[in-house]
Every structure is written in C-alpha cells, then in structure tokens.
Homo-oligomer: A and B are copies of this chain.
Amino acid sequence: MISVDEALARIRDGLTPLGAEQVALSDAHGRVLAEDLAARRTQPPFAVSAMDGYAVRAADVATLPTRLKLVGYIQAGGRHEGTVGPGETVRIFTGARLPDGADSVVIQEDTEAGDGMVLVRDRVGEFGPGRHVRQAGIDFVEGQVGLTAGRRLTARDVGLAAAMNRPWLMVHRRPRVAILPTGDEVALPGDPIGPNQIVSSNGAALGALVAAAGGLPIHLGIARDDGDTLKTMARGAEGADLLVTIGGASVGEHDLVRKALGEIGLAVDFWKIAMRPGKPLMFGRLGTTAVLGLPGNPVSALVCGMLFLRPALDRLQGLPGTGPVAEPARAGVELKANDGRQDYLRARLSRDPDGALIATPFARQDSSMMSALAGADCLILRPPSAAAVPTGGAVKVIRLSDGTDAF
C-alpha cells in the first residue's frame, strides 16, 4: 500500500498534458490556456477621462475660482480635434479620449457652465496634471502577457482576453474519459433490476464529475463480472485518454479487472493505497490510454474521483494536478486517533461566532451511503496515525462543491 500523496504523484508523473486546440473566446470559459496570451492592444490606448467633467490644463485651475472658455465636447468614442489652449476647457465624459493640450479633468460637480464659459468653483484634494485621467496603458500594454499558459479561464479572464483583442485562444484539448462500471450486482437507473441487484450510481456521478472538470465522458455501459466481457467492453476505450474502471478489484477471490485487462496488455503502476474510503485504487496504462481503477463502493468511488480522477483530468488539461486544497477548520466533535490509513470523513460545515469554520462529521461513515456524501459540505482529512482531536481542535477540511461556482 502506498500513501495518498505518493499515489497522486505517480498519477501526475504517468500523465502528460494533452495537445492544444483553437477555440473562440465565447467557448473558452473553464478551458485551460495552452499559450501565453499577449495583448494586441494597449489599454487604454490613449489617456481617457476617469470622470464626467471638463478637460483642463492643471495650471489653469491652480487658483480657484476661475472661468474657462468652453471650446468642445467629447463623448466616449469621440475626439476633440483641436488642442486645448490656456484658459480653455472641453466638456468630457468617462472613458472619452483626453484632448491634446489638456492634462487633467475637473469633475462636473465642482463646476457651473453657461454662456460658453465654465466656472470652476472648487476641487477636492490634491490636483495636478493627471488628475481624474487614466493614462494610456495603465491596464496593460501591447505585447504584455495578460494570461499565462496553464491557467483555467474564468469569466473575468474571458473579459481580459477580449480587452486584449484576442478572439481566438489555444487551449488544451478536453480529455476523453471512458467510464466502465463493473459488477453483476448493478443495473442502470430505469432498467429492469434483478432481485439481488442495486441501482448503479457511479457511472452517472463520475460522468458529471468528468464533465464539470472539463473532460468528455464516454459511458461504456456496465461490464458484468466476467473477464471476456470486460476485455470486449474495454475496447470502447480505444482512442480515449483515460479509462476509468469502477469496482471489480476484489470480486470473489479474484481481482477481475486487473486480471482481464492484464491479458490485453495492462501495465499496472500501483493498485492499493492507504486510505479510507478507498484502498483498492489502481493506476496503470493500456497502450496509449491511462487506466484509473476506482473502488466500487459509491462513496469510495466519488471520493477517489475527487482525490485522484480530478487531478488526473487537471494534469491532462495542463494544470498542476496537485489535488484538492485542504483548509483549516475546527472539529465540531471529538475525533478518535486514526489508524494507518488516511481517512476522509464526510462532514457538515458551520461557522462559530468568531467566523472560524467548524467541521462536524456524520455519525455514520459507511462507504455505501450516498445520501451522507451528497449531504456533506466537506471531507475532514485525517492523516495516517493522526492523534485524537478534542472538540474545537484544529483539523484540515476539503470543501465539496455546492454546484454554484461561476464567477
């Protein structure tokens, strides 16, 4: 048995980022950049007003009140053709190009206009050249790299890429992930269910996880616990970047998946890790397709999906693939000392009055209970041989998605 961290490192080492493809900016959200993205424009490309008001020469408003001659009017997108001379001013609006000759802007609240003249009554705080002006290039300059390769693009990044005038982006190709649940005991939702069967949930949940993580799930269907069937169905993974098998690691007295896929060339890297829920996790390679074998228990399969499949998908898309980040919280109840396996307790999160996170594990941690996993807010990470933790003691938690992340 190897540790969770070693398993993660070996998965990372066993995978390389997929090649790049070109996508339109409107399809780029959530994709991972495969190139450094340099600006094709300087932003702003010229000095612009930061306020609605009057473009002036700072020297002309050094002593107040003063009256300036109104010689023009500029909206955003427009331009004043002449030069603002001494004693002159131009009406200007936020985002409009500062006219030649002017070096600053007096905000409209400090002025009174009439009869072709503008009275500047007052001004707040320091004033000098550049006041209320956005200089050319304060956001970025042409050629400057605004977004770097390996970044997963947020909505904000999409906006920045647009501002940089980049309508097309190179991103890492989506990983094609073949999903192969195994087992005589499971039937698909809605299909006839035998008297000794339960409904299969792992394929559906892992397919959702794969898609949410940027991959393309390919559902191969459920393989019965039979070597020949497994070998035939695994052929559906040809051309996939990753084959995810679920269950079949300790069927009867056999390790069915490893045995059957071994006969068609599976090279196993490792197949047991010191964790709970989990343990029979397998990683290897079948030709050009990486293979990740997840345990069959639904909670184990999904927790291992988050801890190992998700980082594998990240890695294939050009991200580091370092796994989920654990953050500090306090234990809501006393936690017993842990044994040699790293434990991930399903737990609820709350906040104590001072704002600290409180993580309280469910009393029942059975790895067959999907309802507890669905209702959990986080997993409490208990390292191997961790000492007991009193109520209120420090723990690390991995937050689970509530599906609402967007910005």
Decide yes or no whether A82 CB sits under 8 A from chain B.
Answer: no
Q: Chain B residues with Cβ under 8 A from A305's Cβ?
A: 155, 407
Decide yes or no whether A106 CB sits under 8 A from chain B.
Answer: no
How many angstroms from the CA of A186 to the CA of B201 in the assembled complex? 49
Decide yes or no whether A116 CB sits under 8 A from chain B.
Answer: no
Decide yes or no whether A333 CB sits under 8 A from chain B.
Answer: no
Give the segment of A61-69, A209-217, A236-244, A382-390 that binds chain B: A209-217
Give the segment of A2-10, A264-272, A285-293, A397-405 that binds chain B: A397-405
Decide yes or no whether A59 CB sits under 8 A from chain B.
Answer: no
How many angstroms from the CA of A184 to the CA of B79 in the assembled complex? 11
CB pair A196–B97 under 8 Å, yes or no, is: yes
CB pair B197–A77 under 8 Å, yes or no, is: yes
How many angstroms from the CA of A156 to the CA of B298 in the assembled complex? 9
The residue in A76, A154, A159, A354 that gathers the most chain B C-beta atoms within 10 A of its C-beta is: A159
How many angstroms from the CA of A338 to the CA of B214 in the assembled complex? 41
Q: For residues 198 through 215 of chain A, which have their beta carbon under 8 Å from a beta carbon of chain B?
A: 198-209, 211-213
CB pair A44–B374 under 8 Å, yes or no, is: no
Q: Which residues of A contact B (CB under 8 A)?
A: 25-26, 28-30, 41, 43-46, 48, 50, 52, 73, 75-79, 93-97, 134, 138-140, 146-147, 152-168, 183-186, 188-190, 193-209, 211-213, 219, 225, 250-252, 296-298, 302, 305-306, 310, 314, 319, 324, 327-328, 351, 354-356, 364, 366, 368-374, 376, 394, 400-407
A-B residue pairs, 9 tightest by C-beta? A159-B205, A77-B184, A328-B355, A77-B185, A405-B405, A167-B190, A29-B208, A212-B406, A162-B201
